[in-house]
A and B are shown apart, each in its own frame.
Chain A
């Protein structure tokens, strides 16, 4: 075992900080904010050794921690990361800092609870990515619903209760079947909840298909894939800015991560057999959702739909089974974390000032907020998949992989070049460009130092990853190759 349990630290430090700030009331709000920021920063700091000490030459789990938890059922506190998961822990810890900063002024009531929800969620999300025991995974996976449910239900918009319930039920129903699948696999594997054991477990075609369906329902809702996506636009519209940021940047990744950690390696034959189905749904997400996004009049809904379209590239990349596709999909997941968080934070910046998400209420924001407009331009371009931004890398690789797989799949995927630019830049034009549309816009103040810091951090991430993605793929290379080799072998 390693000398320092870095993974446990990334999980429990934010959670403990979250518990700690709960002791304070709103009278101490400034203190709560500072403590939360410190917690988030320490959380980020303890995640850095995961990258620095990561050995990219092996596809085995690293930073492994293993302790019995519920011995009676052979459930273990088993943590570990490989090249597929390590980036998400870093991403999550990074986004948590930004989200704490983003809620600094806009959240004035129940500050401690708000910050606690995000810190605890951050720890739980790290747990999801690090868990190597299925039950542990399940606990973390489900537990993340609670803070997000509260974030939407308490700090959300006018329709928050309907939305919170819709969000909760939608995602909970899906994951119940996953639990059933886990119990089946536990039984089949002779009493093991170890995910790695399951990877090696031989399974006949019928159980593979059934398990695939169970996993699909759990993960597809999270991604979300068409047609189980309709909770997402509602959730984003009602969620506070920070909630939208985490939801888009990290929570959606759980579904995709589930596919690559469970469905693909445990059920390789079913994955191959059903790849046509998965590719079809992914392409619907890209084309159909891309078109739907164009028609939106609410900025947050538009970005939510754009999120779904971008996540379509992730599932598409996974199910074309080549290195370009899988690595592109993982890159797209990280990039989407930066870009979608940035887009939602940008809308948050405007919402804080105007209390409207309606595109029609804006126009000419560039005249009063030039710094903000410049940064948002960058994010809008990244959202349109422009080269030299992170948004390009994943899409490019997935399109390359898709074209290698089949011309028409690549053709349909590449339509995002047109639709993605159309919905993003058309929104940008209506909101930011033009003459000052009304008195409210005329009175806007440009972003302050704190907002600037948050957005510039994301801008640097977006540009850095776009100009030099090599450090990101280097990490995942061996693990992805291992996965692809594993996938090529039938379990029948």
Chain B
């Protein structure tokens, strides 16, 4: 093993070691021990990732196995790494955001009795996510995929005594499992038809399989690649919370805020985006799958953004905004602009982490108040939080020169240039989404940080995020104040790339950064056209001023300013006037209600019915106990013959002898 290969191994193993120490020996190492050991683990992982990143930039790509997990038939299932420009970008982003969140957690979870457990979980998450992105095969991808799901399950239910939290985590796991169901079918089809689960071999054989059809339903041949890609994408819809499997993400806000930032915004939920980018050699062969991706992404991008506009819970606003942004990334994938999707994934990881961690900072300052109606005017008290969140909001709204502008604008342009069926619809969706994005981002900023100070005596009776240790009454009568350095420093460190990450657009999108890691079919050359139009960062910003998205985003922000600063009475009036629409949005289009009734209720009813009717009545009641009764009945009849009277027996014997004789002689 070369030293570089040892370094690859070090990247996931360092956080794993930290997680094991903090988790298994939490009591021995204590609170400080737990955060030190995990932070050191993640720091090592981050530094190693950076070294690997630089190495990969020098052209060193690695694809090799670590050990053979299993051999079956002629197939070897390996655990191995594929270190190329795609995975290394994810490695750096994941470890960086994770490191920030680790540090932030020291402040956020300071009073929590589950301190060590929390650090153990987030380090375990980092390990799982790294295994996912570094994989060179589908099995390990699925391993990481499920492992991040489990850690997410454990973290959403971190405060396990709260009914809402343990409802939300079960829901998240099960909805994700629906996606995984499709994902596993996709993997199975790959194995069945390609005979291997190794990325490199599958991708190299894919073009030859482009015309292969299978008959899922007899008589209707479908393109194998389309079926595989749609199955795989269903997995992505679960993990990356795309309509209609998005329902778990808003509820996941029951978890502590640091993990909302790390798992449910910056990293885990983007696993689906990463996966589809990784699978670009397959998706590029299927126009049908790309159309499907476009439509799903478009729906998610616009309709989820709308819900964010009516939410009052600060975390939920950001959660719905995350859903919408994930929709944007998905649209980019559908438009064959994988690198643009990955670019947005990266910028979004930074600015969304800022927004979530900023929201967390506000939540601590207000003693676990999450309702924006009880905030307002906070910018005086929490300037660092305010400015960093403002940067996050500007980036989220897609205004130049912030990072989100470059990635979002490129997505809109890419989908505009795409000829894949469904691109027109998706373009409309993302374009309208820009206005809504500006609106909800600035609604949040104005609601929480500007206007009247609405916090105060009641600050605590609506605490969604209050946990056992937060029951100290300290600081109640005082004004809120800026949070400690462990909270603000990560905010600042994340705010910097939220501004600057976008400026690398030239390198990442048009400089051929991804190289051979992403494959784009010659038929989908939208990105190449964009490259021709691209004249540097400044040029792109100047050009944007003449295009619709910029004005849409700006007018969204201005609308928010008018509604929440200039005329704060108006939103209430509008809510009443359009109560029908508002209700639909508050009900989240009724998905939760329907799923609870139809799926959860339906499955329970069917299960109960099969049990009571099938097992208890038919099998046990009729067949098993029925045969017992039948035997009892027959023996009852037979018992009649055993009367005990000698003449009965003698008479029967005579008849018997007579019958036998008749038969015997009759035969002869």
- Mark A residues whose CB is within 8 Å of B: 166, 170, 227, 229-231, 288, 291-296, 322-324, 327-328, 364, 366-367, 377, 381, 386-388, 392-393, 396-397, 399-400, 402-404, 407-408, 410-411, 414-415, 417-419, 421-422, 425-426, 429, 432-435, 467-470, 473-474, 477
Secondary structure class of chain B's binding surface, majority of residues: helix
B69 within 8 A of A: yes
Taking a contact as CB atoms closer than 8 A, the residue among B69, B604, B614, B624 that contacts A469 in the complex is: B69
- Distance in Å from the Cβ of A478 to the closest Cβ of chain B? 11
Q: With A166-B624, A477-B71 given, can you name 20 additional A-B contacts, CB distance below 8 Å?
A: A230-B624, A291-B603, A293-B607, A295-B604, A296-B611, A322-B73, A324-B75, A366-B160, A386-B146, A387-B147, A397-B72, A404-B191, A407-B185, A407-B216, A415-B181, A419-B603, A429-B166, A433-B157, A433-B161, A434-B163
Judge whether A434 and B170 touch: CB under 8 Å.
no
Of B147, B170, B180, B184, the contact of A426 (CB 8 Å cutoff): B170
Q: How many residues of B contact A (CB 8 A)?
A: 51
Q: Which residues of chain B are within 8 angstroms of A415 by Cβ–Cβ distance?
A: 181
Nearest chain A residue, comparing its CB with the CB of B180: A417
In the complex the two chains form, what is the Cα distance from A131 to B129 in whole Å?
48
* Complex interface: chain A residues within 8 A of B184 (CB): 396, 399, 414, 417
B177 at the interface (CB under 8 A from A): yes
Chain B residues, CB < 8 A from A404? 188, 191-192
Q: Determine which of A294, A414, A425, A432 lies in contact with B607 in the assembled complex, contact meaning CB atoms within 8 Å.
A: A294
Contact call B615/A414, Cβ cutoff below 8 A: no
A292: which of B161, B180, B189, B615 is its contact (CB, 8 Å)? B615
Contact A399 B188 (CB under 8 A): yes
Q: Of A229, A231, A367, A402, which is within 8 A of B161 by CB?
A: A367
| Residue from A381, A402, A418, A435 within 8 A of B178 (CB atoms) | A418
Bound Cα distance A231, B72 (Å): 34
In the complex, residue of chain B having the shortest beta-carbon distance to the beta carbon of A467: B69
Residues of A contacting B189 in the complex (Cβ-Cβ under 8 angstroms): 403, 407
With a CB–CB cut-off of 8 A, which chain B residues contact A422? 174, 177, 603
Q: Is the beta-carbon distance between B611 and A327 smaller than 8 angstroms?
A: no
Nearest chain-A residue to B157 (Cβ)?
A433
- Do A381 and B150 touch across chains, with their CB atoms under 8 A apart? yes
Q: Are B150 and A386 in contact (CB under 8 A)?
A: yes
Q: Are B170 and A425 in contact (CB under 8 A)?
A: yes
Inter-subunit contact A470/B150 (CB<8 Å): no
If A292-B614, A418-B181 touch, does A407 touch B146 (CB 8 Å cutoff)? no
A11 to chain B, nearest CB (A): 31
User: A429 to chain B: which residues have CB within 8 Å?
Assistant: 166, 170
Contact between chains at A292 and B611 (CB < 8 Å): yes
Residues in A whose Cβ lies below 8 Å from that of B142: 387
Indicate with 1 or 0, residue by residue over B138-176, a CB within 8 angstroms of chain A CB atoms: 010011001100100110010011010010001001100
Whether the pair A418, B174 counts as a contact (CB closer than 8 A) is: yes
Contact of A473 among B71, B170, B216, B604 (CB under 8 A): B71
Q: Determine if B150 and A292 form an interchain contact, defined as CB atoms under 8 angstroms apart.
A: no
- Contact partner, A433, options B146, B160, B178, B214, Cβ 8 Å: B160
Q: Once the chains are docked, how many angstroms separate the CA of A293 from the CA of B603?
A: 11
8 A-B contact pairs sorted by A residue (CB < 8 Å):
A231-B624, A322-B73, A323-B72, A387-B143, A404-B192, A407-B216, A426-B170, A474-B71
With A434-B161, A468-B69 already in contact, the answer to whether A387 and B146 are too (CB < 8 A) is yes
Q: Which residues of chain A are within 8 angstroms of B181 by Cβ–Cβ distance? A: 414-415, 417-418
Measured between alpha carbons, how far is A234 from B282 in the docked complex, in Å? Answer: 50
Q: Is B632 an interface residue (CB 8 A)?
A: no
Q: Is the CB of B614 within 8 A of A288?
A: yes
Q: Which 6 A-B pairs have the closest CB atoms?
A: A323-B73, A403-B188, A295-B607, A295-B608, A291-B607, A404-B192
Residue ID in chain B nearest A422 by CB atoms: B174
B87 to chain A, nearest CB (A): 19
Which residues of chain A come closer than 8 Å to B610, judged between CB atoms? 288, 291-292, 295
Instruction: Please report the C-alpha to C-alpha distance between residue A388 and residue B188 in the assembled complex, in whole angstroms.
Output: 18
Chain A residue with the shortest CB-CB distance to B178: A418
For the complex, give the distance between the alpha carbons of A422 and B603 in Å: 10
**Which chain B residues border A393 with CB–CB below 8 Å?**
70
Cross-chain contact A227 with B623 (CB below 8 angstroms): yes
B620 CB–A CB distance under 8 Å:
yes
A469 to B79, CA, bound (A): 12
Say yes or no for B547: interface residue by CB 8 A criterion: no
Q: Indicate whether A468 sits within 8 Å of B192 (C-beta atoms), given known contacts A292-B614, A415-B181, A425-B173.
A: no
The answer to whether A230 touches B619 (Cβ under 8 A) is yes
Chain A, residue nearest B161 (CB): A435
Contact of A411 among B74, B154, B174, B185 (CB under 8 A): B185
Q: Which of B62-96 contact A (CB under 8 A)?
A: 67-75
Q: B525 to nearest A CB, angstroms?
A: 34
Min CB–CB distance A177 → chain B (angstroms): 15
User: Could you tell me the distance in whole angstroms from the C-beta of B29 to the nearest C-beta in chain A?
Assistant: 17
Most chain A CB within a 10 A radius of its CB, from B146, B184, B188: B188
B618's closest neighbor in chain A, by CB? Answer: A227
**Known contacts A293-B607, A468-B69; A410/B185 CB under 8 A:** yes
Contact A417 B143, CB 8 Å, known A434-B163, A470-B71, A474-B71: no
Q: For A426, give the chain B residue with the smallest CB separation.
A: B170
Q: Which chain A positions have C-beta within 8 A of B624?
A: 166, 170, 230-231
Q: Is the beta-carbon distance between B191 and A417 smaller than 8 angstroms?
A: no
> Which residues of chain A are within 8 angstroms of B68 by Cβ–Cβ distance?
470
Residue of B nearest to A373 (CB): B160
Instruction: Tell me whether A230 and B615 are in contact in the complex, defined as CB-CB below 8 angstroms, given that A291-B603, A418-B181 are known contacts.
Output: yes
CA distance A129 to B367 in the complex (A): 64
User: Is B606 part of the contact surface with A, judged by Cβ < 8 Å?
Assistant: yes
A84 to nearest B CB, angstroms?
14
Residue of B nearest to A377 (CB): B154
Distance, CA A400 to CA B190, complexed state (A): 10
**Which of B69, B70, B173, B606 gathers most chain A CB within 10 Å?**
B70
A473–B72 touching, CB < 8 Å: yes
Residues of A within 8 Å of B608, CB to CB, are: 295
A407's partner among B160, B161, B177, B214 (CB-CB below 8 A) is B214
The digit string for B579-616, where 1 denotes a CB below 8 A from any CB of A, is: 00000000000000000000000011011101100110
Closest B residue by C-beta to A327? B72
- Assess whether A421 is in contact with B185, with CB atoms less than 8 Å apart: no
Which residues of B lie under 8 Å from residue A364 when comparing CB positions?
Answer: 161
A327-B615 in contact (CB<8A): no
- In Å, the complex CA distance between A388 and B614 comes to 35
Give the docked Cα–Cα distance between A444 and B608 (Å).
31
B151 → chain A closest CB, angstroms: 11
Measured CA separation A323–B77 after assembly (Å): 14
**Hey, which chain A residues are within 8 Å of B620, CB to CB?**
230
* A469-B170 contact given A292-B615, A364-B161, A434-B161, CB 8 Å threshold: no
Chain B 182-197, CB within 8 Å of chain A: the 1/0 string?
A: 0011011101100000
CB neighbours of A292 from chain B (8 A): 607, 610-611, 614-615
Instruction: Pick the contact of A294: B157, B187, B604 (CB < 8 A).
Output: B604
- Which residues in B have their C-beta under 8 angstroms from that of A407? 185, 189, 214, 216
Most buried by B among A366, A381, A407: A407
Cβ A294 vs Cβ B188 within 8 A:
no
A292: nearest chain-B partner, CB-CB: B611
